[in-house]
Structure 1
Amino acid sequence: MTYVVTENCIKCKYMDCVEVCPVDCFYVGENMLVIHPDECIDCGVCEPECPAEAILPDSDDRATPWLEINRNFAQSWPNITRKGEPPPDADEWKGKPGKKELLSPNPGKP
């Protein structure tokens, strides 16, 4: 089992999860983070740290469509090991549905 970053992260990207990950399995895109499913050790410490409630176990049906998205982008985005600044408008995007089409494929800056 692994944890998966879902749609709630898009445009929020708070990054609290990055600080607690013991295996540094987060990767950063322009407006979202992803977890590399082959690196995640299923410890679960990241899930409660996410203010946007964007991290779910892969056993949750809501995570299923996001597993491959996480896997694919983790292979091309840079690894992130330290919390950065969230976007200035993160709180405005928190909890908004229908953000999938806003996902940028561009890598972020660690």
Structure 2
Amino acid sequence: MTFVVTEACIKCKYTDCVEVCPVDCFHEGPNFLVINPTECIDCGVCVPECPANAIVDEGDLPADQQIYLALNEQLSRTWPVITSSKSPLPDADDWRDVQGKHDQLIAEA
């Protein structure tokens, strides 16, 4: 099992989760973070740190968010590892509770 960064992270990119990760499994894209599922040790310490509630246990992933399991795996292969916290995107608070923002994902690093 692994944890998955879901759609809620898009256009927010809060990095509170990165600071607590003991294995540096987070990778950073332009407007989204992902978790490398082969590096994640399933500890869950990142979950309560996310202000957007964007991190979900793979076993609890809602049907409409299943695509993010594959996206996390795929994008973590090319995006750089992020190991320290940064400021969120400038309008993160405006996007935090927006649903249906998959079309806003920028997949190029």
Task: Answer whether TM exceeds 0.5 for this pair.
Answer: yes
The one-character-per-residue Cα deviations of 1:37-62 (angstroms, maximum 9, x if unpaired) are: 00000000000000000000000132
- Which consecutive residues of structure 2, in runs of 5 or more, have no partner in the other structure? none
Report the equivalent of 2:24.
24
1:13 maps to amino acid = K
| Identity within the alignment, % | 56
Report the equivalent of 1:87.
89
Tell me how many residue pairs correspond in the alignment: 107
Structure 1 outlier segments of 4+, above 6 Å: none
Root mean square deviation of aligned Cα: 0.8
Per-residue deviation, 1:31: 0.1
Corresponding position: 1:42 with 2:65: no
Alignment TM-score, normalising by the size of structure 1: 0.94
Q: Structure 1: how far apart are the matches of 2:61 and 2:48?
A: 18
Alignment TM-score, normalising by the size of structure 2: 0.95
- Which consecutive residues of structure 1, in runs of 5 or more, have no partner in the other structure? none
